[in-house]
Structure 1
């Protein structure tokens, strides 16, 4: 029995896969598990799937009254030249096309995903203890990263936080801080002092 997985997706989900590539087979009637196992077997025999690689999963979706399968190329080793030839030779049988062609031609194109801005990186040095100096440095980095609208919000939240530690945590939500390793030396020295005091 195959451990390969078939998962159901919508065409809207397909339209959000602009960073991916895969093979779409159209009109896949019958047992979908047999399709997945059969394609793995066929592409292995034809020398398209390499080094024991295979499609561990496929995605099924409905469009134009057809059941279609998407085989994502992510994590799969393929001879792309041979696969392109195989796709052309079997097009009449499987209606094979690339995901990057299918979505623009059949679904109206990919949906642009809103880009999440990456937090600027800020090194927090051992001598940092002035929250306003840290806020100023964080504000400058946010401004350089084009994230000006977050500066006022960061300041307001820090002012309302009421403590250095909480304010530092809030700043860490806006910039990626390299926090210094906590030093354990002072504790050691205190223990030594306490021991020496008892020894006297």
Structure 2
């Protein structure tokens, strides 16, 4: 297992893989578990297992990329498994993750998608409150479709931590104090 940066990930537009999002604990257990599950489901064929696995961090979440190059697998069954287990594993294709999470233009040079600032630090931490604030920020910035997509993903996420990671994929999380300072037209200086 190798660690890669999101900048390295952005260059992988010519590859395909399975991205599992929000992994915690011992990552080798995740790899072994995914290999075992996919073998049981008849997806990995002829004793093959994922060996080329990369780890990367994005928006506070640890993710695994399982390279599909030179793999003996049933891609149709893998596609169905990915859809059925999405709420559990956050599985997506690399070719979907790059444009939708990292803003990569799959037909051109890598480009970072602009995310609007959203003052969530210092707000009531109820996830529905935070989701509402983030959705309102997206709509105010002409990103209504992204607001809808974000809400759907959060309500299906199943955990507070995953929901926060999802919000961070759509907006730059800032503090209420930062927003108030900017509203006043000046930045307060720290004095020690």
- Alignment-derived partner of residue 102 in structure 2: 107
Which has more radius of gyration? 1
Please give the alpha-carbon distance, in whole angstroms, between the structure 2 residues aligned to 1:57 and 1:16: 17
Q: Of the candidates 16, 22, 32, which is equivalent to residue 21 of structure 1? A: 16
Structure 1 residue 78: deviation in Å? 1.0
Whether contact under 8 Å (1:16, 1:111) holds in the other structure is no
In angstroms, what is the RMSD of aligned CA positions? Answer: 1.6
Compute the TM-score of the two structures, normalised by the length of structure 1.
Answer: 0.52
Q: For residue 66 of structure 2, give the secondary structure of its aligned residue in structure 1.
A: strand
Matched, 1:90 2:85: yes
Please give the alpha-carbon distance, in whole angstroms, between the structure 2 residues aligned to 1:74 and 1:81: 16
Please give the alpha-carbon distance, in whole angstroms, between the structure 1 residues aligned to 2:3 and 2:107: 22
Matched, 1:39 2:34: yes
Q: Deviations over 1:95-143 (max 9, x none)?
A: 00000000000001157789xxxxxxxxxxxxxxxxxxxxxxxxxxxxx
Please give the alpha-carbon distance, in whole angstroms, between the structure 2 residues aligned to 1:106 and 1:54: 27
Whether contact under 8 Å (1:16, 1:112) holds in the other structure is no
Structure 1 residue 57: deviation in Å? 2.8
Structure 1 residue 84: deviation in Å? 0.6
Whether contact under 8 Å (1:16, 1:113) holds in the other structure is no
Runs of 4+ in 1 over 6 A off after TM superposition: 111-114
Runs (5+) with no aligned partner, structure 1: 1-5, 115-200
Q: Number of residues paired by the alignment?
A: 109
- Alignment-derived partner of residue 11 in structure 1: 6
Whether contact under 8 Å (1:26, 1:96) holds in the other structure is yes
Runs (5+) with no aligned partner, structure 2: 110-192
- Alignment-derived partner of residue 77 in structure 1: 72
